[in-house]
Structure formats: structure tokens, C-alpha cells
């Protein structure tokens, strides 16, 4: 990573902004992140739908998204997402009939700018939740074992 960071140049005002090497490295990473996001957006617009789908499989893209997730991804309200589902503008189904939760097919959104970033954040959140659940389980088991002694 240091080889990559050595290639990033800071202008005078940025150099004056940071005092430590850690802060300088962090600023360089932020600049890289900004440039990468631009490049990702440009490349994603050049890719064919099947190429995006094959890449999406690598990043553990779920088959279905929730109403909340689609609202966050598209920037519309949850109610609008539900209306789009009901009018079949979005592909999805309600698991328990007319009053059930919508399961919205994710593949229809994979060409949106920021989709892979959204999926990455979603997966990170899932992993953190999974770790928290494991820690909670361990704590409960430890408490049960201590109460039994």
C-alpha cells in the first residue's frame, strides 16, 4: 500500500493541513478513494449487463433487497418503492400475500451508479452484525456456565 501512497501527491495547502505521517497517509487514501469512485462510475457505465452480473456474483450480491435498501439505493421514499413494486415497475414479490414484506430482485439495480459500493457497505454491516451476535451468544453461554458453577 505504501508504494501506491507514494505515488499520490498533495498540494501545498494539503501539506500544511496535516501534521503527522499518519494524517498525511490518511489524506492520500481519501484522495485515492475519491478518484477510484470516479473511475468506477465511468467503467460501470461502459460494461455490459452480463459483465456487471458476473462481477456482482463475486461480491456476494443478494438475490433480493428490502424496501428500505432499495429506497436508500434509489433515493426515493419507501412508499414509492412499494408503489413501484405493486405496479411491477420493480420486479419483486410479497412473501405472505398482499400484506407481506416485499422481496425485490437486486439484479435490476446493478447498473445504478454506486450499486457495488452499496453492496459492499451492506455486506460490511452484515458481517458486523454477525460478529455482534456471536459475541452476544458467547456472553450468554459464559453467563450460563458461571451460574451453573
Tell whether pTM > 0.75.
no
- pLDDT tens-digit map of 21-75: 888 888 888 888 888 878 877 777 777 767 766 766 666 788 899 999 999 999 9
The CATH code that applies to domain 58-149 is: 1.10.10
Structural Rg of the chain based on CA atoms: 22
Q: Per-residue pLDDT tens for 4-23?
A: 888 888 888 888 888 888 88
The cell numbers describing 36, all together, are: 477510484
Domain ranges for the chain, please list them: 1-46, 58-149
The answer to whether 125 and 118 are in contact (CB under 8 A) is no
Amino acid at each position: 500500500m505504501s508504494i501506491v501512497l507514494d505515488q499520490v501527491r498533495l498540494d501545498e495547502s494539503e501539506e500544511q493541513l496535516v501534521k503527522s505521517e499518519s494524517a498525511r497517509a490518511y489524506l492520500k487514501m481519501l484522495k485515492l478513494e475519491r478518484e477510484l469512485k470516479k473511475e468506477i462510475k465511468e467503467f460501470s457505465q461502459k460494461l455490459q449487463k452480463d459483465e456487471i452480473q458476473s462481477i456482482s456474483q463475486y461480491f456476494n450480491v443478494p438475490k433480493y433487497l428490502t424496501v428500505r435498501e432499495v429506497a436508500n439505493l434509489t433515493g426515493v421514499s419507501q412508499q414509492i418503492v412499494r408503489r413501484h413494486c405493486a405496479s411491477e415497475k420493480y420486479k419483486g414479490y410479497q412473501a405472505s400475500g398482499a400484506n407481506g414484506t416485499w422481496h425485490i430482485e437486486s439484479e435490476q439495480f446493478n447498473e445504478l451508479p454506486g450499486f457495488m459500493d452499496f453492496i459492499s457497505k451492506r455486506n460490511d454491516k452484515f458481517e458486523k452484525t454477525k460478529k455482534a451476535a456471536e459475541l452476544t451468544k458467547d456472553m450468554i453461554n459464559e453467563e450460563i456456565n458461571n451460574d451453573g458453577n
